Structure 1
Amino acid sequence: MHIVVTGGAGFIGANLCTHLLARPEIERVSVIDDLSTGFRTNLDGVDVRLREGSILDPDALDEVIGDADAVIHLAARGSVPRSVADPLASHHANATGTLQVLEAARRAGDVQVVVASSSSVYGANPTLPKVEDMVARPMSPYAGSKLAAESYTIAWQHTYGMPTLAFRFFNVFGPLQPAWHDYAAVVPAFVSAALAGRPLPVHGDGTQSRDFTYVATVCSVLTDAVVRRVTSDVPVNLAFGTRTSLLDVIATLEDLLGHRLEVAHSPSRPGDVPHSQADNGRLRELFPTAAPVPLRDGLAATLEWFRTQPTEPVRSSS
């Protein structure tokens, strides 16, 4: 099998490439990434072909997808605050970019497309746990763009018979996740601050809760999806129904590090969802053997990785 990973030099993508290559069914992995948030160094020692380019470039997509069996589409402009600052850029990357990937796969013919959506699409809907059939109520441009991306994915299955699968990711964390920029996710921001002796930045009172999912768990499910060519004409939550507050994450880090951590509270950010938890019934039906890495184990592995890293990755020239 030949698998293409868009955004494969990023946090989830680079971890995924390693998982894919560990499967004997997969002979080749190709990556397309514009390196706007990913890094060549993330793929050091990983036997992939990297095509530096944008998913908004049809020629670049055709070059890498032309003989593929499946595409795992991870390339995106992440972060709710970043989308609030520049909503059009989020739309172009996340909605239009997904449309370009789907069209490239359609031109190639019989290519499975697995797309990363987000739990953020549930937005202002207060019901917990989040069931895929409930009404989506996006609270940010990022969430709206991800809802558009998964909607196009499902529409292309219905309209063109394309084998597709749209996953809703829930707060993925783990090694390779950057912490040094203004829009860093909560776990790397906490871990980086804790190891540097800085106060942990908490937006709000810290009682907001998330269904944290370790990156190796996500990569295992994504790999199984393309190996078994799993499809769905409805979105699928990729999380396991846990609910952990930010204060609980801090307490676990304190326990792992063996000392108290200082916390710096700031106002809640526009577009942030107070609570998120997945119903995993549909995931269990499609992936009955999937086994999540416990939060504590994932945090311990993330801490160990961060201890080996410089403050900021160095971008390689093209």
Structure 2
Amino acid sequence: MNNEVSPIDLFNFAVWGIIFLVIITQLFRSIRIVSTRTALIVERLGKYKATLGPGFHVLIPFIDVVTAIQDLREETIDVPPQECFSKDEVQVEVDGVIYMSVSDPIKATYGVTDYRFAAMQLAQTTTRSVIGTLELDKTFEERDMISQAVVDTLNAAGETWGVHVHRYEIKNIKPPSTVQCAMEKQVTAEREKRAILARAEGDKQSRINTSEGTMRELINLSEGERQRLVNEAEGRASEILALATATAESIEKIGNAVVQPGGEEAIKLNLSEKFINNIAHLADAETSVIFPADLTNLNQLLEALDLHIARKANA
């Protein structure tokens, strides 16, 4: 008996083995486990069939095919540096970052060939257009406006592409080295100008404060001097008034005493005592005193004084 295997049998065995491996492979590939925030696009015989969400799924081998896997998480896309011209014809280099995510897996698969590349190109063209309407100084101040314009444009196109742009950030705006040096000098000049103005304003305020302090000091001194003079005048007036009042009261009392019984004799006696005492004091002093001729006639002097007092009382 011949146990040798013919070449035809070997060929058939190999063919069936390959077919078996293909079938087993397709069976395994038909079993899909989709993770969270991932979507699988399935086509059946070349036509869109379904979008598979997270979970366990079984496909029909040789008929159902996964044509795209879309990641629904937010992703970042670097926009490479590009040269832009501002409104005042200054060339600047601008780059940025796009933050976006797939909102519609079907549109992201069939609406555009490569939504990442398309978003990057649209961001560059929009950035060039917006910077072309701004002067160089404004490009540094209007970063938010430029970013918002890019986001609005990308979201308008994203409705067709099935993507949503969350934000766009400009990383760098680099002018030429010559322009950058000129801008640095301008900034330095502005800072020096502000410093000079601040020092001048401070010196001015200091002088104003000093003059106001001196003025208030002089006012306070003059007010104090005026109040002192007023107080002294009021004091002298009060003193004069008190003396006048006391003198008037004493004169009134003397007049009342004179008209009383025995008042005249009392006054004469009081005047005699004062006259004698004054003469005694003059005798003690080391001075020369001239007395009138009738000094020895005391009674006549008193009578003359009495007549003078009587006249004042009658008046």
- Both proteins in one fold, TM over 0.5: no
Specify which structure has the higher proportion of strand: 2
TM-score by length of 1: 0.19
TM-score by length of 2: 0.20
Greater RCO (CA < 8 Å, at least 6 residues apart): 1
Specify which structure has the higher proportion of helix: 2
**Greater C-alpha radius of gyration:** 2
